[in-house]
Structure 1
Amino acid sequence: MRALMLLISVFATTLMLTSSVLATDLQTDIHQQGFVYCINGTPHAFNPQMARHGLTVDTLSAQLYDRLLGVDSYNYQLTSELAEKWQILDNGATFRFQLRKNVSFQTTSWFTPSRMMNADDVIFSFQRIFNKEHAYHNVNGNNYPYFDSLQLAQAIKSIKKLDDHNIEFRLRAPDASFLWHLATHYAPILSAEYAEALTQKNQQAEIDHKPVGTGPFMLKQYRFNQYIRFFRHNQYWKGLPGMQQVVVDLGASGTGRISKLLTGECDVLAYPPANQLTILRNDPRFRLTLRPGMNLAYLALNTRKPPLNNIQVRRAIALAINYQRLMQAIYYGTAETAPSILPRASWAYDQSAQITKYNPNQARKILQQLGIKQMELSLWVPTAPHSYNPSPLKTAELIQTDLAKVGIKINIIPAEGRFQDYNSMEMNHDLTLSGWTTDSNDPDSFLRPILSCAAIDS
């Protein structure tokens, strides 16, 4: 198991611009038709079922897909989405959902639906994840990280279609967190009809790369590492979206994104560099939105490798890190050192939990008692910023400096995406900077995906 020592609960930040101009490669009329949303990241696929984290889950999923249930972003209560009503039976072991009628799938250049969303689509979407014998389970790999970490496939006894607009999930045992897992962005409803059409053309892999959902916007154009253009779904069941199109600009990071905001190329900037917030707060053209985030940054330690299999060594590392300096140098007052794996927004947060206080003298004493004078460790670090860590490499350098003061040499190894995931899965690392974000405040959405034994493999 990997021990989690450094816990940083982060606030999500969004900035909005009131007047702007756009670069010509994204069309000069975009501001009359919609807006430009700037964020750093690269989607490996558009289907969040197969995503571990990042842009697909945080941003793209909500535009393309709907879920059975939603979560109110302010009070974190369950809301109805494609499931209009639901029932909980058998003391929480059976869940029945009544689906909305007249919900249209998107009509794209690669698929034209012939019917409305129904129970077949819901059955397909979840059977693909949970049934290893399903025709689409192994398409584009057989990893569904969020649900694999929960071991939810083993918990589900059956998924049954009662009629075209009613379905039933039966669990092997009651589970109070089940509804919350269906409400995350990892649980989109896909089109079974689209999947059948792809099978007939032997193009099954396109289901995750050329998306078809019921969401408010549909994919129109994607240029790798540049931008994603969405056009509105004119038959969207909640009503006509107010904008004709949205462009997600992927082309700049760091100060480059701030420059795009200042010059008017961006209307909305997600997760701006925290060290620029003072400048932006004082500019009357911008509106800053700041609210507690359901996310967490952490330093993960590989306890299968000596000397990290010794809990006292891990404690020394935790004591040697100057958390307050990280809060100021990385987050500029938009985060707090977390005393537990659960953020404050979770209903299960323990108000009495205490943070690990910075104490390098105690760290040295522990290492001396263990007879350790020098130690050398590798630290895998993602290169791209995330909602939970706007500057991973700088974070790693600060940790490197802190640990050097107590005799621990850290070799920083930059890595990203599947490369980092692969090396972590191989368990050949010592430390890795990571994080987690979800739209559910149920503690199970943090505890099992991060701490369970199944999460190591997923």
Structure 2
Amino acid sequence: MINMTRRAILAAPTLLAMPAIAQSDDRPTLTIAVQKLSNSNTFEPPREQSNVGFRIHGLYAEQLIGTNWLGNAELVPGLATEWRRPDAATLELTLRQGVRFHDGREMTAEDVVFSFAERLFGTQGATGAGQSSVLAGTATKEPPSEVVAVSRRTYPGLDRIEIVDRHTVRFINRTPDVTLEGRIAQSVGAILSREAFANAPSWLEWGRAPIGTGPYRIAEFRPDTSLVMEAHDDYWGGRPPARRLRFVEVPEVSGRVNGLFSGEYDFACDIPPDQITVVEGNARFEVLGSPINNIRKLSFDKTNPVLADARVRRAMTHAIDRRVAVDALWAGRTAIPRGMQLESYGPMYLADWENPRFDPAEARRLLREANYQGQPITYRLLNNYYINQVSNAQIMIEMWRAVGINVQIAMQENFAQVTARTPGRGVRDWSNTSIFGDPVAGILRSFGPRTEAERTGEWSNEEFNRTSAALETETDIARRRDHFRRLLTIVEREDPGYIVLHQAAAFTAKRKDIGWRAANGWAMNFGPGNLRVGA
């Protein structure tokens, strides 16, 4: 259970009027065309753990520990200026003073405790064992079950948060955790206003306009259409360089590119590689981007009657020639990772690990051994939610057909349809973002206890779960590496849960006269120091 060691005082909620934008304000309004605004039609970070959510999260909400997405994704001071480790299960943080929420209130330690307790876990607390003492008896808005599930997965060992003083907090785990700093840096751990939460009429209204500390505040949201953010001029990091940001949902690539050329949009996101030369053929525009901290994968539902046999899934992994697909669709602009890991893992990176080899003969042998008779396997597919998603699927369909595997595409409208527990669910596209440099931040966000793979009923493995628990609590680097190797052996070789496809890459087209740097992740940074118009 999450609790406080000092009484939390819930003042009568008062929303302060936002400062009016002066008539002489000559900062620009920028319009950004995106493929999708939000998968959940909310902006509460634990509910929008997606590439589209990560893109805008940092504009309105921040964590105690930040990530330098314009650098090497290293952890940096955020709403906390420093932190220290009394022991392997404890982290103490000093809060930045003078930080103002979008409602005008100053951020204090009590907002931190609220943000990690009532807001994420509700009255049942982190373990579900009982009522949290944080704002006990005052909570009227329980978070949705998926928010609680994501929160418990993100902070599996969190026991309590102690307020040392108004600007100092102490996180205490039930078990050792060498990754606690990285966990706190995840978007789930955004620090939001407890008074604004208490004042919101409902959780949904809160979730569509959470009150954070970022350089911009959410001003207007029209689901599936547009999102408007306005400058937060009391931002602790300096005056935001844009007066207003307007995100517009434009599903088709051609619509985003044409709108950029016509002047309707200043930025166009999610540009596929084959359109980069088209954009840069116009001297007024350029495309920025690179491979990022995300791995695209194809996920198996092992409860499917055909895929229940691991040999069929293993055959499917051996039938895929990743290099052919990447060369055909990405023109050398991305990479094929060595399994579900990134080099940013540092000492935890297994440089000698390999993906299952492309081996059609072995695929056919496994299918004969499994007595596979050509039964159809459904591939639930979205229309290019991921860049080149449909084309990639079509290439894989042909590779599987070449070894005798009958995979059939079933187009879906949204993720809820893709993951629904309805007959015929077989394989689907997914991706895995590593929020910081450790396997805990990557593979264990998707697979293992309390993760989406387990919650949706697609994949679970008892040994994998035991080993993941051991990895999360181990402090010795050599033993942690051994645990990680065993996890990859289980989920990529023995009992496949997915096929690694390629490292995701994010490309954004923009006007050349706008000075702006692309992040090494999904995040779009329009804050002080990263935006200049008329360059």
Which band: TM-score by shorter chain?
0.7 to 0.9
CA contact (8 A) 1:295 1:435 kept: yes
Aligned to 1:399: 396
1:371-450 paired onto structure 2 within 5 Å: 371-385=371-385, 389-420=386-417, 422-423=419-420, 429-450=425-446
Aligned to 2:498: none
> Per the alignment, in what secondary structure is the counterpart of residue 292 of structure 1?
strand
Deviates more, 1:275-284 or 1:233-242: 275-284
Aligned to 1:353: 353
The alignment of Structure 1 onto Structure 2 pairs a total of residues equal to 413
Query: Deviation of residue 136 (structure 1)?
Result: 6.3
**Cα distance in structure 2, aligned partners of 1:204 and 1:223:** 17
Aligned to 1:284: 283
Query: Deviation of residue 246 (structure 1)?
Result: 1.1
Query: Deviation of residue 69 (structure 1)?
Result: 0.6
Aligned to 1:323: 322
User: CA-to-partner distance for each residue in 1:276-332, whole Å, 9 max, x for gaps?
Assistant: 122334443233323330001111112233332333222211111232232133323
Aligned to 1:368: 368
Aligned to 1:139: 143
Which structure's relative contact order is higher, taking Cα pairs within 8 Å and 6+ residues apart? 1
**Compared with structure 1, are the counterparts of its residues 345 and 319 closer, same or farther at alpha carbon in structure 2 (3 Å cutoff)?**
same
1:58-457 paired onto structure 2 within 5 Å: 58-73=54-69, 74-90=71-87, 92-107=88-103, 113=104, 115-128=105-118, 129-130=120-121, 131=125, 132=128, 133-134=131-132, 135=139, 138-144=142-148, 146-150=150-154, 152-153=155-156, 155-198=157-200, 202-347=201-346, 348-385=348-385, 389-420=386-417, 422-423=419-420, 429-455=425-451, 456-457=454-455
CA contact (8 A) 1:219 1:228 kept: yes
Return the TM-score normalized by structure 2: 0.72
Query: Deviation of residue 63 (structure 1)?
Result: 0.9
Q: Which runs of 5+ in 1 are unaligned?
A: 1-29, 108-112
Whichever residue aligns with residue 119 of structure 1, its letter is A
Deviates more, 1:295-304 or 1:427-436: 427-436
**Compared with structure 1, are the counterparts of its residues 142 and 328 closer, same or farther at alpha carbon in structure 2 (3 Å cutoff)?**
closer
CA contact (8 A) 2:28 2:244 kept: yes
RMSD across aligned positions (CA): 2.5
**Cα distance in structure 1, aligned partners of 2:175 and 2:196:** 33
Query: Deviation of residue 182 (structure 1)?
Result: 1.0
1:50 correspondence with 2:44: no
**Cα distance in structure 1, aligned partners of 2:72 and 2:336:** 23
**Cα distance in structure 2, aligned partners of 1:203 and 1:308:** 42
**Cα distance in structure 1, aligned partners of 2:146 and 2:313:** 34
Name whichever structure is richer in strand by fraction: 1
**Compared with structure 1, are the counterparts of its residues 96 and 47 closer, same or farther at alpha carbon in structure 2 (3 Å cutoff)?**
same
Query: Deviation of residue 100 (structure 1)?
Result: 1.1
> Per the alignment, in what secondary structure is the counterpart of residue 393 of structure 1?
helix
Query: Deviation of residue 172 (structure 1)?
Result: 1.1
**Compared with structure 1, are the counterparts of its residues 346 and 432 closer, same or farther at alpha carbon in structure 2 (3 Å cutoff)?**
same
Aligned to 1:35: 30
**Cα distance in structure 1, aligned partners of 2:281 and 2:332:** 16
**Compared with structure 1, are the counterparts of its residues 100 and 444 closer, same or farther at alpha carbon in structure 2 (3 Å cutoff)?**
same
> Per the alignment, in what secondary structure is the counterpart of residue 189 of structure 2?
coil
CA contact (8 A) 1:375 1:407 kept: no
**Cα distance in structure 2, aligned partners of 1:78 and 1:144:** 25
**Compared with structure 1, are the counterparts of its residues 421 and 183 closer, same or farther at alpha carbon in structure 2 (3 Å cutoff)?**
farther
CA contact (8 A) 2:179 2:440 kept: yes
Whichever residue aligns with residue 352 of structure 2, its letter is S
Aligned to 2:136: none
Whichever residue aligns with residue 151 of structure 2, its letter is F
**Cα distance in structure 2, aligned partners of 1:38 and 1:432:** 26
User: CA-to-partner distance for each residue in 1:26-45, whole Å, 9 max, x for gaps?
Assistant: xxxx9961322221113220
**Cα distance in structure 2, aligned partners of 1:136 and 1:292:** 43
User: CA-to-partner distance for each residue in 1:142-188, whole Å, 9 max, x for gaps?
Assistant: 534543334x24x1121111221111111111101111011122221
Query: Deviation of residue 422 (structure 1)?
Result: 4.4
Query: Deviation of residue 137 (structure 1)?
Result: 7.0
Query: Deviation of residue 384 (structure 1)?
Result: 4.3
**Cα distance in structure 1, aligned partners of 2:419 and 2:320:** 27
Question: Identity of counterpart residues, as a percentage?
Answer: 22
Q: Which runs of 5+ in 2 are unaligned?
A: 1-24, 133-138, 457-535
Query: Deviation of residue 48 (structure 1)?
Result: 0.7
Query: Deviation of residue 260 (structure 1)?
Result: 1.7
User: CA-to-partner distance for each residue in 1:67-98, whole Å, 9 max, x for gaps?
Assistant: 101111222221111111211112x2111111
CA contact (8 A) 1:37 1:268 kept: yes
**Cα distance in structure 2, aligned partners of 1:53 and 1:308:** 26
Query: Deviation of residue 196 (structure 1)?
Result: 2.1
> Per the alignment, in what secondary structure is the counterpart of residue 450 of structure 2?
helix
User: CA-to-partner distance for each residue in 1:234-279, whole Å, 9 max, x for gaps?
Assistant: 1001111111111112134222212122223222222202211223
**Compared with structure 1, are the counterparts of its residues 75 and 137 closer, same or farther at alpha carbon in structure 2 (3 Å cutoff)?**
farther
**Compared with structure 1, are the counterparts of its residues 373 and 186 closer, same or farther at alpha carbon in structure 2 (3 Å cutoff)?**
same
Aligned to 2:19: none
CA contact (8 A) 2:231 2:243 kept: yes
CA contact (8 A) 1:84 1:98 kept: yes
**Cα distance in structure 1, aligned partners of 2:66 and 2:374:** 51
> Per the alignment, in what secondary structure is the counterpart of residue 383 of structure 1?
coil
**Compared with structure 1, are the counterparts of its residues 31 and 40 closer, same or farther at alpha carbon in structure 2 (3 Å cutoff)?**
farther
CA contact (8 A) 1:293 1:345 kept: no
